[in-house]
Structure 1
Amino acid sequence: MQLEKLREDKIIKQLFAAILKLENIDEVYQLFDDLCTVNEIQSMAQRLEVARMLRLGYTYNQIEKETGASTATISRVKRCFQYGTDGYKLVLDRLQDTDKTP
């Protein structure tokens, strides 16, 4: 399983632990600016937006038009909803909860 392989990798564990140490969005921007290219960040953000739209029932055509994501990317995200570890669901639920906070 892909997740188990990631959990066994010490440097990946270090990366995820480092992310958990960040205290606010500015710190997240700082780390990701150093860590990733702009295109990598945009790709991750795009996949999260595709997940959000799939969850809301948007069609592939609507998602493709609004996000610029390829149908291959949309399909990959959809497969994660069907066969993944519910990471998208977890984070989208939490984002939705923070949207409700005054």
Structure 2
Amino acid sequence: MKEHEDDVFQGIDQRLRDSLTDALFDAILLLKDREECYRFFQDIATVAEIKSLAQRLEVAKLLEKNVTYTTIAQATGASTATISRVKRCLFFGADGYQMVLKRLAEQEEGEK
């Protein structure tokens, strides 16, 4: 791996990195729109797994807005353990949530 690539992947849990995971992410990057995402994810994951991922993203959005655990739990149905885990990742993780939330906010601003 090139030196600059190491810098890009700094903070990523190296246990995730292998050829199978690379192939999965490469496949996801080929999806062109929401409809394709629905079709692919419906085939590759259970409804519960997809809903869980969606819930975590919503929890991250609410945590970023400083919403209380109680309100987040009521709004999303997430357990306090899930909320805590998302919070830990949001503030001390690989910055994946931060990156996506920033892009979502920019996209929302561009649509106004």
Question: Same fold, TM exceeding 0.5?
Answer: yes
Distance 2:84 2:41 in 1: 26
| Counterpart selection for 2:73 from 64, 77, 102 | 64
Distance 2:89 2:37 in 1: 24
Matched, 1:33 2:38: no
- TM-score normalised by length of structure 2: 0.85
| Counterpart selection for 1:15 from 17, 24, 42 | 24
Partner of 1:50: 59
Distance 1:81 1:28 in 2: 24
- TM-score normalised by length of structure 1: 0.93
Question: What is the count of residue pairs matched by the alignment?
Answer: 101
Runs of 4+ in 1 over 3 A off after TM superposition: none
The AA in structure 2 aligned to 1:57 is N
Higher-Rg structure is: 2
Distance 1:13 1:55 in 2: 29
Distance apart, 1:2 and its partner CA: 6.1
More helix by share: 1
Instruction: Give the SS at the match of 1:49.
Output: helix
**Contact 2:56 2:82 survives alignment (8 Å):** yes
| Counterpart selection for 1:94 from 62, 84, 103 | 103
Partner of 1:76: 85
Q: Gaps spanning 5+ residues in structure 2: where?
A: 1-10
Instruction: Give the SS at the match of 1:3.
Output: coil
What percentage of residue pairs aligned between the two structures are identical?
Answer: 50
Of structures 1 and 2, the one with the larger relative CO (CA 8 A, separation 6+) is: 2
CA RMSD of aligned residues (A): 1.3
Instruction: Give the SS at the match of 2:32.
Output: coil
